[in-house]
């Protein structure tokens, strides 16, 4: 099973180490973890994707809640939510292939954000499936470098993961 957690934490020094350390100490498998501060500078939000058995996932929630700097933990896997990742892909591109690459990027509603003599950097935002698909589509041209942000997620509608909920 794979779960997505939206976690609010105090924006204190070392909070990421506390959360990451918890995962490594307990042997939980982090699929992706993204973190940055929210509109409240005192609070950061983490989106954590974890792979594991049901019992492990239950423990993840409970152990996270034990951390003093963790304000809220919410498993949004089964709730309607949007999730996005951003990827930058540096791909081999010369005058012969650039047109094909641009077409693919267009289909995925991505953007070419840098063009060099032999390379292009492609930026794409989307869910995991879309990111995987464009990665596969660009592979034949030769991917030189790739960086993904990891998933960020938010519930749809009026539901929120806020401090006072």
Partner 1 sequence: MLTGGQILVECLKNEGVEVIFGYPGGAVLPIYDALYDSDLLHVLTRHEQAAAHAADGYARATGRPGVCLATSGPGATNLVTGIATAAMDSVPMVAITGQVPTTMIGKDAFQEADITGITLPITKHNYLVRDVNDLPRIVKEAFYIATTGRPGPVLIDIPRDVSAGKTEYRDPGPIGLRGYMPRLAGEPAKIAAAAKLIAQAKRPVIYAGGGVINSGASEYLKKLAETIMAPVAVTLMGIGCLPGDHPLFLGMLGMHGARYTNYAVNECDLLLAIGVRFDDRVTGKVESFASHAKVIHIDIDPAEFGKNVPVDISIAGDVRTVLVDLIKNLTCNPDPAWQEKIARWKKEYPLDHSREGLRPQAVIRELSDMLQGRRYRVTTEVGQNQMWAAQHFCITRPRSFISSGGLGTMGYGFPAAIGVQVACPDELVFDIAGDGSIQMNIQELTTAVNYRLPVNVAILNNSYLGMVRQWQELFYNRRYSQTELVNPDFVKVAEAFGAEGIRVEKIAEVRPALEQAIASSRPVFLDFIVEREENVMPIVPPGEAISRMLG
Least Cβ distance, residue 131 to partner 1 (angstroms): 32
**Is the distance from CB of 91 to CB of 142 less than 8 angstroms?**
yes
| Interacting residues with partner 1 (CB under 8 A) | 9-10, 13-14, 17-18, 21, 25, 55, 58-59, 62-63, 65-72, 163
Comparison of 65 and 111: residue with beta carbon closer to partner 1 = 65
CA gap 119, 73 in Å, rounded: 42
Q: Name residues whose C-beta falls within 8 Å of residue 52's C-beta, 6 or more positions apart in sequence.
A: 1, 3, 28, 29, 60
Least Cβ distance, residue 38 to partner 1 (angstroms): 14
Comparison of 14 and 99: residue with beta carbon closer to partner 1 = 14
For the chain, how are helix, strand and coil distributed in percent, rounded to 5? 30, 40, 30
Least Cβ distance, residue 59 to partner 1 (angstroms): 6
Comparison of 18 and 98: residue with beta carbon closer to partner 1 = 18
**∠ CA(162), CA(163), CA(164), 5° rounding?**
95
Least Cβ distance, residue 155 to partner 1 (angstroms): 20
Max distance between CA atoms of the chain, in angstroms, equals 57
Comparison of 21 and 140: residue with beta carbon closer to partner 1 = 21
CA gap 45, 7 in Å, rounded: 6
Least Cβ distance, residue 74 to partner 1 (angstroms): 13
CA gap 15, 21 in Å, rounded: 10
Comparison of 17 and 158: residue with beta carbon closer to partner 1 = 17
């Amino acid at each position: 099973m794979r779960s997505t957690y939206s976690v609010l934490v105090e924006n204190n020094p070392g909070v990421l180490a506390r959360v990451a350390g918890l995962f490594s100490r307990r042997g939980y498998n982090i699929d992706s973890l993204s973190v940055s501060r929210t509109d409240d500078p005192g609070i950061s939000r983490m989106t954590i994707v974890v792979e594991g058995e049901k019992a492990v996932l239950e423990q993840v929630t409970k152990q996270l809640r034990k951390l003093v700097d963790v304000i809220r933990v919410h498993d949004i896997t089964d709730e309607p939510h949007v999730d996005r990742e951003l990827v930058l892909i540096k791909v081999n591109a010369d005058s012969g292939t650039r047109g094909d690459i641009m077409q693919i990027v267009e289909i995925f509603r991505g953007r070419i954000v840098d063009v060099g003599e032999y390379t292009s950097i492609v930026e794409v935002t989307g869910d995991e499936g879309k990111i995987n698909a464009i990665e596969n589509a660009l592979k034949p041209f030769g991917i030189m470098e790739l960086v993904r942000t990891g998933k960020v997620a938010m519930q749809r509608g009026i539901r929120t993961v806020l401090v006072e909920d």
